[in-house]
C-alpha cells in the first residue's frame, strides 16, 4: 500500500495532468484575453463559489475534522480532463472549458497549498498535521504544473506526435482514476461504510447544487447558452484524483489512504451519476 500511495498515486496524477497538457495549445491560454468575461465568470464559479458552497455543505451535514478537510480539498481542485470531456458530451464551449481548466490548473500551485493549509487548521485544530505551504506547493508543481507544461511543449513542437498519443493518454488517465478511486475506497472501507449514509447524499447534493449554481451565474451574466453549459460543468466536475493525492500528501500516511481521501474517492463515482442527466438535458438544448 505504501508503494501505491508514495509512487503510483503521484505518478498517476502526473500522467493525468500530462494528458491534459498534451491536449492544449498556446492559443488556449491566449483565449482568456479574447473571452475575458466568460472566463472571469467561470473562474468565479470555480475558485470562489465552489469552496463556499462546499463549506456550507460541510456545516449542514455536520462533517467534522478529516472528512470536512477532505470535502474542502476536493473543492479546491480544478476541473481536470474529465470536465473537458463532459463539456464536449454536453455540446458546450469546449474551448472555454479547456482554457478554464488549463489556467486554473496552473494557478492551483499557489491557491491550493494556501487554502489546504487553512482548511486543515480550521477543521482539525490542535489535531491538525503540520502542513508546509512551501513543500505542498513544490509537490503540486512537480505532479500537476510540470506535467501540464511538458504536455503543452510537446503539443507545440511535435503536434503530430501529440495528436497520436492524446487518445491513449486520455484512456489511460480514465483507467488510473478508476483504479485510484477503488483503492482509496478499499483502504478506508470501514470509514466508507460507516459514513456512506451521509457521504453519498452530501456529495450528490453538492454536485447538483454546483452544476445549477454554475448555470445560474452564467445565465445571470447573459452568457451564450453553450458557454453557460460549460461553466455549469466546470463548477460541478472536479479533479478527484488530485483531491485524493492532496489527502495523501497532507496526512503523511504510508500505511493506507487517509480518511481525508474519502470524499474525493466517493465523488469520483457520484459525479458521473449526477452529471449524466445534466449532460442529457444539455445535449438536447
Query: Could you read off the pLDDT of 47-106 as tens digits, one per residue?
Result: 999 999 999 999 999 998 899 999 999 999 987 778 888 888 898 888 888 888 888 888
Cα 9 from Cα 17, distance rounded (Å): 12
pLDDT above 90: residue 129: no
Mean pLDDT over 213-237 rounds to 94
Query: Could you read off the pLDDT of 242-278 as tens digits, one per residue?
Result: 898 899 888 876 666 788 989 998 998 888 889 999 9
**Which segment, 96-105, 135-144, 202-211, is predicted with the most confidence on average?**
202-211
Mean pLDDT over 118-140 rounds to 89
pLDDT of residue 62: 92
**Domain 2-283 listed as CATH 1.20.1530.20:** yes
pLDDT above 70: residue 4: no
pLDDT above 80: residue 30: no
Where are the domains positioned within the chain?
2-283
* Top-confidence residue, 256 or 218: 218
CA atoms within 13 A on the CB side of 235: 33
**Which segment, 18-22, 191-195, 208-212, is predicted with the most confidence on average?**
208-212
Query: Could you read off the pLDDT of 142-200 as tens digits, one per residue?
Result: 888 888 889 889 988 998 898 888 888 878 877 877 777 787 777 778 777 877 788 99
Amino acid at each position: 500500500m505504501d508503494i501505491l500511495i508514495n509512487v503510483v498515486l503521484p505518478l498517476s496524477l502526473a500522467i493525468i495532468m500530462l494528458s491534459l497538457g498534451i491536449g492544449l495549445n498556446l492559443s488556449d491560454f491566449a483565449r482568456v484575453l479574447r473571452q475575458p468575461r466568460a472566463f472571469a465568470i467561470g473562474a468565479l464559479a470555480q475558485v470562489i463559489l465552489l469552496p463556499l458552497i462546499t463549506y456550507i455543505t460541510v456545516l449542514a451535514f455536520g462533517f467534522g475534522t478529516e472528512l470536512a478537510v477532505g470535502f474542502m480539498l476536493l473543492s479546491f481542485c480544478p476541473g481536470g480532463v474529465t470536465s473537458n470531456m463532459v463539456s464536449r458530451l454536453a455540446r458546450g464551449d469546449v474551448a472555454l472549458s479547456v482554457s478554464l481548466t488549463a489556467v486554473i490548473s496552473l494557478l492551483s500551485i499557489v491557491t491550493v497549498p494556501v487554502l489546504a493549509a487553512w482548511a486543515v487548521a480550521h477543521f482539525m485544530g490542535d489535531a491538525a498535521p503540520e502542513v508546509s505551504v512551501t513543500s505542498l506547493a513544490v509537490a503540486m508543481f512537480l505532479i500537476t504544473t510540470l506535467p501540464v507544461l511538458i504536455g503543452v511543449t510537446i503539443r507545440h513542437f511535435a503536434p503530430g506526435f501529440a495528436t497520436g498519443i492524446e487518445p491513449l493518454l486520455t484512456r489511460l488517465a480514465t483507467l488510473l482514476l478508476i483504479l485510484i478511486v477503488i483503492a482509496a475506497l478499499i483502504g478506508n472501507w470501514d470509514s466508507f461504510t460507516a459514513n456512506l449514509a451521509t457521504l453519498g447524499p452530501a456529495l450528490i447534493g453538492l454536485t447538483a447544487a454546483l452544476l445549477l449554481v454554475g448555470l445560474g451565474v452564467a445565465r445571470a451574466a447573459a452568457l451564450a447558452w453553450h458557454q453557460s453549459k460549460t461553466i455549469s460543468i466546470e463548477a460541478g466536475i472536479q479533479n478527484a484524483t488530485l483531491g485524493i493525492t492532496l489527502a495523501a500528501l497532507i496526512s503523511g500516511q504510508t500505511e493506507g489512504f487517509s480518511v481525508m481521501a474519502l470524499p474525493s474517492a466517493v465523488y469520483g463515482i457520484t459525479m458521473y451519476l449526477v452529471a449524466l442527466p445534466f449532460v442529457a438535458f444539455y445535449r438536447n438544448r
